[in-house]
Every structure is written in C-alpha cells, then in structure tokens.
Amino acid sequence: MSQTEDLEKRMSELEDELEIQKVVYNYCFKQDQRDMEAFLNVLTDDIIFTFRGWALELRGKEEFKKYFLEQVFATHEYHMHQVTNLNIQVDGENADGEAYLALRASYGGEPQEAGIRYMLKFRKENAQWKLSEIHCEVITWKGSLAPQDQNVYERFTV
C-alpha cells in the first residue's frame, strides 16, 4: 500500500468515527429537545433497544417511537443526556461502540440522576451511519425510577 493509499484509508476511518460520534450526540441531543423526527432519523428501521434495569426490549423504529412518546416524553418534564468516554471500532459498513451516559431528568417533578453504560452497534445505510442496537446497563441511579433489583446494576471490580 502506498503512502497516499494508507493516508486515504486512515482519513476515511477518522471520518467514519467522527460521523458515528455525531450520531450518538444527535441521539442524545434530539431526545433532550423532543425532536422526534430528528431523534428517529439516527436509527435504523430495525433498531433494537434494551434496558436491562427495567427488563425492557424494543424492536423496530415504530415500537421505539411509541415507547418514547408514551412512556418517556409524556411523563418526564426534561432530560439532559451527557455522553462521555465514547469508544468506537469501525469494521467496514458496521461499527461497535461503548460510552457512558450521565443523565439528569425530572419525572413527576422529582429529579432523577443516573449513570448508564451504552453498548452500541452502528450500520452504514445509504452512506449514513445509524444506530442499529442500543443496550443500556445501569451503573448508578438516584430517584424513584431507579431499578429496585440490585442485580441489574453493572458493577466494576478491581
């Protein structure tokens, strides 16, 4: 591989990683803004969403939309998602990612604070990266929505 080809390959990989970062940030930001169209636009039609703390599994964009409209947007006064430690591995038209989420929200006037680990899968469709799987693991949660089963909390040990 020539130096030019190597440079082009590395630039393409960096561009993919930056586009995937934008997908994650838009997923969070558009959810916070309650911009359903833009929120759904970062998802594949066959999105899989799991949240082990609530034994929740959603399959497909329509089920996802219904849940967020009825169970999240209708019951929470606000959200603020802050994503950190985003780690992405690109493999052609697919990618895996992992990140931490610091969540602040209000449910029924009561503050909620959570630390959540996202395990993510992405797929490139029509030259655009989209989320194809979102798996959430609770690390910490303060507030009435906190999962009661302590076994669902992800704990890291040294």
| pLDDT tens, position by position, 90-140 | 999 999 999 999 999 999 899 999 999 999 999 999 999 999 999 999 999
The whole-number pLDDT of residue 157 equals: 57
What is the rounded distance in angstroms from the CA atom of residue 120 to the CA atom of residue 99?
Answer: 8
Q: What is the pLDDT of residues 21-46, one digit of tens each?
A: 999 999 999 999 999 999 999 999 99
Is beta strand 43-51 parallel, antiparallel or unpaired with respect to 128-142?
parallel
Domain boundaries, the chain: 3-152
Joined tokens for residue 133: 């799987």
Domain 3-152 has CATH 3.10.450.50: yes
Q: What is the pLDDT of residues 49-79, one digit of tens each?
A: 999 888 999 999 999 999 999 999 999 999 9
- As to burial, measured by CB atoms within 10 angstroms (0-12 exposed, 13-18 middle, 19+ buried), residue 131 is buried
- pLDDT at residue 156 above 60? yes
Q: What is the pLDDT of residues 9-18, one digit of tens each?
A: 889 999 999 9
Furthest CA-CA distance within the chain: 60
- As to burial, measured by CB atoms within 10 angstroms (0-12 exposed, 13-18 middle, 19+ buried), residue 144 is exposed
What is the rounded distance in angstroms from the CA atom of residue 35 to the CA atom of residue 67?
Answer: 15
Q: What is the pLDDT of residues 128-139, one digit of tens each?
A: 999 999 999 999
Element (H, E) at 51: strand 43-51
- As to burial, measured by CB atoms within 10 angstroms (0-12 exposed, 13-18 middle, 19+ buried), residue 82 is exposed
Closest CA to 121 of 92, 153, 89, 84: 89
Q: What is the pTM of this model?
A: 0.92
> Mean pLDDT score of the chain, rounded to an integer?
94
Closest CA to 78 of 53, 110, 49: 110
